[in-house]
Amino acid sequence: MRLSEFWTLMERAFGRGYAAIVADSHVLGQLDNRTAAAAIEEGEPVRRVWEAIVLELEVPPEQHHLPEPKKRH
C-alpha cells in the first residue's frame, strides 16, 4: 500500500479534515501504543498501520479498500 492510498482511505473513512487529526492523535494498541503518524514515521509498513486503524476504530468493511481501477479497452 502506498502512503497516498493510505491517506485516500483515511479521508474516506474519517473525512478530509478529521483524517489527519485521527492519524496524529489516536493511540493504537496494535502499533505499540503509537499514533498512526508516529508509526509511519518510524518505518511501520503503511498497510499494517491501516489494518490497525480498521480494527481498532471499527472502519466499515465497505471502506477498507480503494475501488478497483477501471479497465481500459
- The string of pLDDT tens digits covering residues 2-38 is 999 999 999 999 999 999 999 999 999 999 999 999 9
10 contacts: CB under 8 Å, gap ≥ 6: 19, 20, 22, 23, 53
Check if the beta carbon of residue 26 is closer than 8 Å to that of residue 13: no
Angle of CA points 53, 62, 68, to nearest 5°: 105
Query: For 35-61, how does the pLDDT look when each residue is reduced to its tens digit (9 = 90+)?
Result: 999 999 999 999 999 999 999 999 988
